[in-house]
Amino acid sequence: MTATPLPAEFTLARPHSANRTSPMRWIVSHALRYWPILIIILIGAYGNGALAGVVPRYVGAAFDDMLAAAPSLSMLLQTALAIGVSQVVRGVLQFGRNFGAEIMAQRIERDIRDELYLSLLGKSMTFHNLQPVGDTMARATNDVREVNFMFSPGLNLVIGSFFFLLIPLFTGPRIHPDLLLVPALFSVAYFFALANYLKTLSPVTDAVRGAFGVMNTHLSEALDGVETMKGAAQEDAEIERFVTNARRVREAFVKQGDLEAKFLPMLLLGITYAAGLFHSLLLYRAGEISVGDVVAFFGLLRLLEFPTFASTFAYSQISLGLSGARRILELINRETDLDQNAAGFDGQMLGEVEFNEVCFEYDMSPSPNGRGARGEGRGEKILEDVSFKVKAGQTVAIVGQTGAGKTSLVKLINRIYDAPCGEVKVDGVEVRNWNLASLRQQISIIEQDIFLFSRTIAENIAFGKPDATREQIESAAQSAQAHEFILTFDKGYDTVIGERGVTLSGGQRQRLALARAFLTDPRILILDDSTSAIDSATEDRIQRAISAASKGRTTFIITHRLSQIRWADLIIVLRKGRVAAIGSHEELMKTSEAYGRIFRE
Q: Which is more confident, 254 or 531?
A: 254
Mean pLDDT of the 136-141 span: 87
Instruction: pLDDT band for 369, please (50, 70, 90 cuts).
Output: very low
Give me the chain's average pLDDT, please: 84
- Rounded Cα–Cα distance for residues 241 and 493 (Å): 42
**Is the per-residue pLDDT at 13 higher than 50?**
yes
**Using CA atoms in the order 389, 392, 397, 401, what is the torsion angle rounded to 10 degrees?**
40
Is-contact 47 93, C-beta < 8 A? Answer: yes
pLDDT of residue 3: 45
Alpha-carbon torsion 268, 269, 274, 276, what sign?
Answer: positive
What DSSP string describes 50-76?
A: HHHHHHHHHHHHHHHHHTSSS--HHHH
Q: How confident is the model at residue 99 (pLDDT cuts 50, 70, 90)?
A: very high
Contact 260, 309 (CB under 8 A): no
pLDDT of residue 336: 67
Q: How far apart are CA 147 and CA 323, in angstroms?
A: 9
- In angstroms, the CA 472 to CA 465 distance is 10
Using H for helix, E for strand and C for coil, what is the string for 79-102?
HHHHHHHHHHHHHHHHHHHHHHHH
Among 86-95, 116-125, 218-227, the range with the most confident prediction by mean pLDDT is: 86-95
**φ and ψ at residue 575, rounded to 5 degrees:** -140, 115
Mode of pairing for the β-strands spanning 443-446 and 421-426: unpaired
Give residues with Cβ within 8 angstroms of 95, minimum separation 6: 44
Compute CA 518 distance to the chain's CA centroid, rounded to the nearest angstrom. Answer: 33
Cβ neighbors of 327 (< 8 A, separation 6 or more) are 139, 143, 209, 210, 213
Percent of the chain at pLDDT > 90 equals 35
DSSP-H helix ranges across 150-180: 156-175
pLDDT at 8: 60
Among the residue ranges 111-115, 226-230, 315-319, 540-544, the one predicted with the least confidence is 540-544
Q: Answer yes or no: are the C-beta atoms of 486 and 492 closer than 8 Å.
A: yes
Question: Is a pLDDT exceeding 80 seen at residue 599?
Answer: no
Beta bridge partner(s), residue 396: 556, 570
Mean pLDDT of 469-498: 88
Q: How many residues does the chain have?
A: 601
* 387 φ, ψ (degrees, to nearest 5): -140, 130
Average pLDDT (303-310) is: 89
pLDDT given at position 368? 38
Give the pairing of strands 524-528 and 443-446. Answer: parallel
Asked if pLDDT for residue 134 goes beyond 50, the answer is: yes
Is the pLDDT at 262 greater than 70, yes or no? Answer: yes
Q: How far is CA 101 from the centre of its chain?
A: 23
Decide which of 356 and 363 is more confident. Answer: 356
Domains and CATH numbers, the chain: 23-332 (1.20.1560.10), 449-521 (3.40.50.300)
Q: What is the pLDDT of residue 173?
A: 92
Which pLDDT value is given to residue 9?
61
How many percent of the chain have pLDDT more than 70? 88
CA dihedral sign of residues 74, 79, 85, 88: negative
**Sequence-ordered alpha helix ranges (H) in 225-264:** 226-231, 235-261
**Cα–Cα distance for residue pair 264/194, rounded to 1 Å:** 8
Q: In the prediction, which pLDDT does 27 show?
A: 93
pLDDT bucket at 372, cuts 50 / 70 / 90: very low
Q: What is the pLDDT of residue 76?
A: 83
Would you give the DSSP letter of residue 140? Answer: I
User: What is the rounded distance in angstroms from the CA atom of residue 154 to the CA atom of residue 148?
Assistant: 9
**Residue 354 pLDDT grade (very low, low, confident, very high; cuts 50, 70, 90):** very high
Q: How high is the pLDDT of residue 597?
A: 73
pLDDT of residue 218: 84
Number of CB atoms found within 10 A of residue 262's CB: 11
Question: Global pTM?
Answer: 0.74
How far from chain centre, in Å, is Cα 74?
63
Distance CA 41, CA 550 (A): 64
pLDDT of res. 545: 65
pLDDT per position as a tens digit, 148-206: 999 999 899 999 888 999 999 999 999 999 999 999 999 999 999 888 888 888 888 88
In the chain the first and final C-alpha atoms are separated, in Å, by: 63
| d(C-alpha 420, C-alpha 360), whole Å | 6
CA distance linking residue 197 with residue 398, whole number of Å: 63
